[in-house]
């Protein structure tokens, strides 16, 4: 099933919905797990906790790849589970891609919520299962200390079930135009390192007809340069309809002679001439907005506006 197939969307969540909580990437500790569960319950959801949430393999994995993949498959197959939250990011989501049942997932569409390392799942599920997914905060790494803005931004998307709306930054944070123009396309993307790591695999991102969102954390500008250049050489900016640049937390250089991230945007991305917005407050930042991936969006760069709508 390719990326141009009919979009499969999970249903809107209401109070009393059951959330499947799974750890497809890294582990967490018991305190953060319990706090994350408490937050989901306070939001009005029942929580079914996967076994992966209690696992730690090798210090950075929440169990074996088979365990993590099987649990995700089972949560999609379970008719009692209404949506799936990824516990946290870290590393490991790439490992489970070969073991996912994409046909089952397409037949049992549900919202999958997460970001960072979960980018691997966003791209794979969008392209192999035509599933709309949610780039949003996760219980053990974000929701336990989330602001009211972050919580409301999340709820506005997951209770709306992609019906449409405007994505707006927190007050006082302006979406900035890098390249003027308007673009329409399917919203996709995520973490820059994960996207470049998937190049050359069966899960390589397809940006044709897409609005590409990118964010990163803790990378020096020269490393950002390398990854952006790799995407450029792979044709991903040329193929895209428009580009959104999110948060780049901890990606500044202390060297006064170094290029900074915005210099790289002007040098590498702007020459492609695609309508581009910077400072989308999504990714590794707080407060953060929630982005609905896999569905149409409209980017109005000069006006600093971003909309999504039901296909």
Catalytic annotation, residues: 116, 215, 284
**CA 97 to chain CA centroid, nearest Å:** 16
CB-count exposure of residue 15 (10 Å: 0-12, 13-18, 19+) = exposed
**What is the spatial distance between Cα 116 and Cα 192, in angstroms, rounded to a whole number?**
9
């Amino acid at each position: 099933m390719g990326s141009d197939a009919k979009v499969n969307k999970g249903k809107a969540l209401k109070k009393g919905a059951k959330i499947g909580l799974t750890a497809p990437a890294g582990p967490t500790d018991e305190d953060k797990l319990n706090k994350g569960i408490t937050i989901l319950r306070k939001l009005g959801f029942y929580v079914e906790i996967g076994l992966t949430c209690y696992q730690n393999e090798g210090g950075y994995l929440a169990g074996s790849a088979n365990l993590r993949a099987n649990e995700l498959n089972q949560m999609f197959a379970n008719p009692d589970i209404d949506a799936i939250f990824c516990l946290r990011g870290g590393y490991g989501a790439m490992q489970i891609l070969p073991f996912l049942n994409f046909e089952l997932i397409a037949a049992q569409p549900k919202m999958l919520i997460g970001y960072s390392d979960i980018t691997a799942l966003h791209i794979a599920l969008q392209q192999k299962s035509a599933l709309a997914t949610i780039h949003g905060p996760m219980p053990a790494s974000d929701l336990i200390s989330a602001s009211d803005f972050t919580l409301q931004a999340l709820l506005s998307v997951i209770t709306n079930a992609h019906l449409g709306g405007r994505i707006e930054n927190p007050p006082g944070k302006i979406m900035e135009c890098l390249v003027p123009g308007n673009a329409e396309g399917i919203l996709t993307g995520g973490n820059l390192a994960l996207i470049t790591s998937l190049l050359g695999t069966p899960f390589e991102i397809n940006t044709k007809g897409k609005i590409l969102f990118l964010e990163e954390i803790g990378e020096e500008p020269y490393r950002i340069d390398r990854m952006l250049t790799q995407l450029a050489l792979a044709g991903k900016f040329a193929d895209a309809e428009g580009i959104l640049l999110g948060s780049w937390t901890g990606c500044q250089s202390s060297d006064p002679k170094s290029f900074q991230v915005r210099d790289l945007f002007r040098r590498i991305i702007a020459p492609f001439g695609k309508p581009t917005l910077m400072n989308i407050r999504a990714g590794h930042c707080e407060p953060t907005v929630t982005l609905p991936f896999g569905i149409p969006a409209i980017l109005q760069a000069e006006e600093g506006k971003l909309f999504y709508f039901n296909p």
